[in-house]
Amino acid sequence: MTILGNRPTTRPGQPTSSLRAPGLDWLLMLASLALVTMGTLLVWSATSTRADLTGGDPNAYLRKQLVNVAIGLVLMVAVMATDHRWVRILAPLAYVASVGGLVMVLVAGSTINGSRSWLQLGGMSIQPSEFAKLAVVIGMALVVAERTERRWGRGVGSLEVVGMLLVAAVPAVLILLQPDLGTMLVLAATVFGVLAVAGAGRTWLAGLTVGAVVGAIAAVSAGVLKPYQVDRFMAFTNPTLDPRGAGYNVEQARIAVGNGGLLGQGLFEGSQTRSGFVPEQHTDFIFTVAGEELGLVGAGVLILLLAVVIWRALAISADAGDLFGRVAAAGIACWFGFQAFQNIGMCLGIMPVTGVPLPFVSYGGSSLFAGMLALGLLQNIHLRSSVASRR
């Protein structure tokens, strides 16, 4: 599949659909804001009875998440309002800053849950690997755009593919050294998606797939993965193997989701949630709160909203007026899509536990900030495409 080539334009006087009308992509905006709102309520519910987390203040995490949301909205608007030319100019700086953050983590980062992934800045914890996902997407988009925009129709060659892989390789190695397996899996899926959309040859895609499988086997054999990470994969294949150890999270998560039934037990009323049986429920396992308290219907609405965000990202990619915008928007869609699948899948027991947040829903500043920056970039690309279509 290739995205290179001339794109059709709207003829003068030809009506446009409401989804493509000049201005913001309102479906994307409303769906993302609804996700953030749902996420804030679910975080509040997951933490309001956890005195060990809140210090006795049931509203502590609600206030923290509202601050995160406010900062995220400012970041989204800032990127959305930035001139498109400046977005491309600043892309290399964003990439360098992201790599610098990953290096700082390895030098002076804090270890949480077995992974050195956090930087303590005053009273705030920053996870640079979350921003690395967006940096890799825009970095790869910039490489392929700069080398091919003046050569329409010739496609993406080996030199462009190698350049894109080099852009992704530096953050990937630094993330693997932390080690942050969950982010590494999301990054790998995102890179594969970007290469496919950019038009990399089937030989490259097949070779990368085989290489990834061989690399995973070699990593396990060489002891690159820590014992607890191997235990998680073993528990995924057989949850009853260690129900009080590595399999505990998955077992409790499935119980919580199963408790919800069709309509759920009610917000703030989930028995598993109020008892604190599901570890990291306000972050990695936030979907279990939706499943237990909002039921199949509420969890389905959450998944539908995520699907809308991914659909609009792909639509923006298809309508983008330049190659950079098309590849970047498609990369963001791949990122959101795989990360959401991985998070929800581990809550349902169909994916191994790797510790990745649910986009726009889980508690945490870094994940939300990176996601809102990505939304701002999507709107920026959409706005530029809308202006171009009017000319």
Global pTM reads 0.88
Name residue 118's beta-bridge partners: 110
Residue type, 171: P
The 8-class DSSP code of residue 247 comes to T
CA distance 389 to 391: 6
Determine contact, residues 343/371, Cβ cutoff 8 Å.
Answer: no
Name residue 119's beta-bridge partners: 126
DSSP element (H, E) containing 125: strand 124-126
Angle at 281 between CA 108 and CA 364, to 5 degrees: 45
pLDDT of residue 239: 66
Tell me the two tokens of residue 109: 């980062």
CA distance 48 to 59: 6
Instruction: Please give the average pLDDT of every successive group of 10 residues along the chain, which has 391 residues.
Output: 42 38 84 97 94 88 95 96 86 93 88 78 85 95 81 69 92 88 91 89 88 78 68 69 70 90 93 88 94 96 98 95 90 96 92 90 94 96 75 58
CA distance 388 to 139: 24
In the three-class reduction of DSSP (H, G, I as helix; E, B as strand; rest coil), residue 296 is classed as helix
In the three-class reduction of DSSP (H, G, I as helix; E, B as strand; rest coil), residue 111 is classed as strand
CA distance 295 to 164: 42
Tell me the two tokens of residue 368: 């939300």
The 8-class DSSP code of residue 19 comes to G
CA distance 252 to 243: 9
Tell me the two tokens of residue 8: 């059709």
Determine contact, residues 359/63, Cβ cutoff 8 Å.
Answer: no
DSSP element (H, E) containing 309: helix 286-319
pLDDT of residue 72: 96
DSSP element (H, E) containing 117: strand 115-121
